[in-house]
Structure 1
Amino acid sequence: MTGTASLIDELERTLSAGSSVQRADILRRVSDLFLTNIDHYGDEHVAVFDDVMLHLVDKIERSALVRLSKQLAPIENAPVRTVHRLADDDDIAISGPVIERSKILSEDFLVELARTKSQAHLAAIAGRESIGERITEVLVDRGDDEVTLKVTGNHGARFSRPTFMKVAEKAQANGPLAEQVISRSDVPPDVFQHLLRKATEVVKNRLLRNADPDKRVMITRTLADIATEVARERAQMDGHSASGTVMQFDAARLKSRIGELAQAGKRTETIEAIAALSKLPVATVKNVVRQGATDGLLILCKSISLGWPDAKRVLAGIGGVASEAETKKAFERYIGLTSETANRVIRFVKSCKAISKADFQRML
């Protein structure tokens, strides 16, 4: 430590009479000496360097402090008081490196920074390798869209459920933020559903377009579940059947899900989805299925413009059409059935109290 002692003596002389260039030079020499022998220093040695650096920090030009911050940011046993002093600087060029990278900064200190400093400081905190729930909460509460996007995209950040819900609220009309939310493996299911329920059409379409295949399936399934739930809720409120609720914003997604529901053997959900899209009472669709009216199912599928692959799944899943011969016959009838005819039959069905299997056959 002989070199350090002589530097301290020189430090006092330089601070008294030296120029800004000389002061910057001695800080550089002090920091270089510290970094060169860092593995050999104990706590007492580090404390000496801390004293020296603190003497200089308030008297050194900006560029020297920026350099010092970048040097100390990754050091795990860096001078504690100096690091905190740099992190507390209002100049983000000085404070940013240690805020984002230093492991010395305590959670309490970071929470206070997040509560009081600029958006640039919050963005630096949002980029840390690991962020606790208390810090994340403040970042989301005070942060602008850029900060919220950055911390949400940081998979080292931990979120409480209430904070996740706040992010979901912000993401309703913010496509990039919504993408970050659904990309997280730790987002609670109810938050995931809340976001998709409240999101604008533009955001929903963006999520479906950009999501990976597995995530796209989850989004589609959730949107279909939401549509069914909305229908049920409306039905309970106004006394009408679930299918009587027009679910404009989710109709296309609900239709895309019908084949999957049928193939999975989800009879009730498939019936409710068909009823919702055809605007028929659920009881009517159930009656068609119960009678084994293949022609009726074909008409229902055609009226909601299902493609043959999905219509085939419906016939097999809830209509009992299993053999190759039956499927081939159904295909020929489906291809020959026009949308105009199917819609005419559906209009007639809506005007009737009941319709039989024979009625469907006569009307084709």
Structure 2
Amino acid sequence: MKFASEFRDPALAKALLAEIARTADEIGATKQKPVSIMEICGGHTHSIFRYGLDRLIHDGIEFIHGPGCPVCVLPRARVDECIEIAQKPGVVFCTFGDAMRVPGSTLSLLQAKAAGADVRMVYSPLDALEIARRSPEKEVVFFGLGFETTTPSTALAITQAAREGLTNFTVFCNHITVPEPIKALLDDPHMCLDGFIGPGHVSMVIGIHPYDFIAEDYGKPIVVAGFEPTDLLQSVLMVLRQIARGVARVENQYARVVPEHGNTVSLAAMAEVYEKRPSFEWRGLGEIDASGLRIRDKYRAFDAEEKFGIGYAGVRAVVEEAEGCACGAVMTGRMKPPACPQFGKGCTPEMPLGALMVSSEGACAAYWQYGGARAAE
């Protein structure tokens, strides 16, 4: 497969695994005292299990699965607010497919659709914009969800709607940013992390310097990584070599895709449309300062929270996790999916109790897809 096979070369993977083992032994990594490396991105979690890297790598390396799945970190209260908007008369609620099955406190968006709400799966905010053009009698709401990877496209949809003078298109903005939850994890005294595999897709937009604080303030190495098996193995080796030398830096393994200073066009679009929220609620992490984005006053007419008086623009309910659901503990690295008492029992892909079993980037979905019944035993 052109442009992919070279990053799946078995001989290169074998050589990297051998060098990882040598460096891990040099550090003194063992099962009793492993080197804990958090892969922040859910896409990396799936690559690790898809290619069996968790089984091939040195016993002294432990992968910790981080909060890098935007669907997974969405609290149940926000899902309930989505459903509340979708159930309003005359509303067409547009969302990415992953969010359709995430359980709220009583329903998912898919169940709300089955009950009569006009919920539609789209592939882009531009799809929602086209629905608004064709249905001027409807209020079309796009569920703006995701990290910095998807944020620019929503921003551009809003500016396009403003240029066209559309009055029936709004965004329910749930865009979030990566650096702030990492800081929250590093400030948690119970988290013992030795290094990070940085997200590749997010870094295509923001570059590598937003992670400088990880190395400078916390003394932890971070390597921005690609998604192929040799990308991830090389990144683990780069983290280990920093630890072995007693240094901490931000390094870019994914330089073929990730520019040092990010994508200037995307960053400009984000700055034009969004500003930081004072705080935003994360599943498993609670409210984190300045970790979410909201639509600037200049584009308030396109803010669904303002139009419908919902979410942070209204009165927010406190919604607890479902009883027995350990999504928060899994997502913050305090528990592996099979340790959740509901994994494979009360929570399966067909009948999910939590978001991590639903999302294509969820850790529980990765364990189930690539471990299946073995993981549940």
Q: If the TM-score is normalised by the length of the shorter chain, which range does it land in?
A: under 0.3
Quick check: which one's helix share is greater? 1
Relative to its length, the structure with more strand (as a share) is 2
Give the TM-score, by structure 1 length. Answer: 0.19
Higher-Rg structure is: 1
